[in-house]
Structure 1
């Protein structure tokens, strides 16, 4: 059985994020041995089950060489799980990464820049997801606006990857699991 086809089975504790206050979602951090079986240290989409209930989600890098999973209220309720429970998961990386949702402001900027739009349409879903993450990871509106303009310029000039983007979060600490409520 290939590495991509193998199911990865593990247990993990459901945690509540400390921020934002009152969040309706929960998260879990994959055990290092489960994460090591994934094909990449960066974002990866998986099909899986949470206590036997199916889901598809994109795992995020935790900045420590592992991954974390955001669980919506609907996912938890389907499995009958609450924060503090230890849940059983079985995951398998998807054969083909799904197309990311393009934010409206980026979609508008791409529409206004034909050369950038042409380059964008030739990118893989993973590369488009990286651009989107780089743009949306800015904390301030001005940063996001500047990154959209820069992205359009870089794409129009032929660039295929966002500059200096650490997909694992290990080096730049730009990606990481939320802090749990203590």
Structure 2
């Protein structure tokens, strides 16, 4: 499939998250046909444009087999967009998923366990995206800490993919787009 076949163009309303009240960011939920053209239902990086302004972003799964896009303050200002606006969007998957940023707590744990670090280094970029997503999607600090420990244990044991994690959120309902303010 060529990049032209996977490019989606659509209009969407820019939404303000319900919480926090003073959020400096907004978001857009992709229509399902646009998500269906993407290579995966979990986190995926896209080349995108909003009202003609180009950028690269990582889409988050919405738990409904689609995705949502966080628009940070800087992007909103640069594209001259605000919550409530209807915008023209274009999204296409990147040719190669970029290496994800390693969270500090996971980096520290991997550095302390060389065999886990070797397991990490032997995984694919997409697998690392899923490992990180599983860890950072924890709702509580205690759960996140437990997941870092479990990840190191699994990687040290030779596991290359995180088990028991649905990166789309569809089956576990663990992931969702933010609730929109009214």
Q: Which runs of 4+ in 1 moved over 6 A?
A: none
Cα deviation, 1:13-40, whole Å, max 9, x if unaligned, reads 0000112221100000011222222222
- CA distance in structure 1 between the partners assigned to 2:174 and 2:2 by the alignment: 28
Q: Does 1:83 align with 2:83?
A: yes
Alignment length (residue pairs): 181
Q: Does 1:103 align with 2:103?
A: yes
Question: Which range moves more in the overlay, 5-14 or 164-173?
Answer: 5-14
Residue 167 of structure 1, CA deviation: 1.2
**Is residue 5–residue 93 contact of structure 1 (8 Å, CA) maintained in 2?**
no
- CA distance in structure 1 between the partners assigned to 2:154 and 2:123 by the alignment: 13
Aligned ranges for residues 60-75 of structure 1 at < 5 Å?
Answer: 60-75=60-75
**Is residue 11–residue 87 contact of structure 1 (8 Å, CA) maintained in 2?**
yes
- CA distance in structure 2 between the partners assigned to 1:95 and 1:149 by the alignment: 32
- CA distance in structure 1 between the partners assigned to 2:71 and 2:11 by the alignment: 14
Cα deviation, 1:76-121, whole Å, max 9, x if unaligned, reads 1111111000000111100110111111111010001011000101
Residue 168 of structure 1, CA deviation: 1.0
Partner of 1:114: 114
For residues 92 and 68 of structure 1, do their structure 2 counterparts lie closer, same or farther at Cα, with a shift above 3 Å needed? Answer: same
Please list every run of 5 or more consecutive structure 2 residues that lacks an aligned counterpart in the other structure: none
Equivalent position SS for 2:159: coil
Please list every run of 5 or more consecutive structure 1 residues that lacks an aligned counterpart in the other structure: none
Partner of 2:146: 146
**Is residue 43–residue 129 contact of structure 2 (8 Å, CA) maintained in 1?**
no
The TM-score, its normalising length taken from structure 1, stands at: 0.95
Question: Which range moves more in the overlay, 131-140 or 149-158?
Answer: 131-140
For residues 81 and 132 of structure 1, do their structure 2 counterparts lie closer, same or farther at Cα, with a shift above 3 Å needed? Answer: same
**Is residue 113–residue 152 contact of structure 1 (8 Å, CA) maintained in 2?**
yes
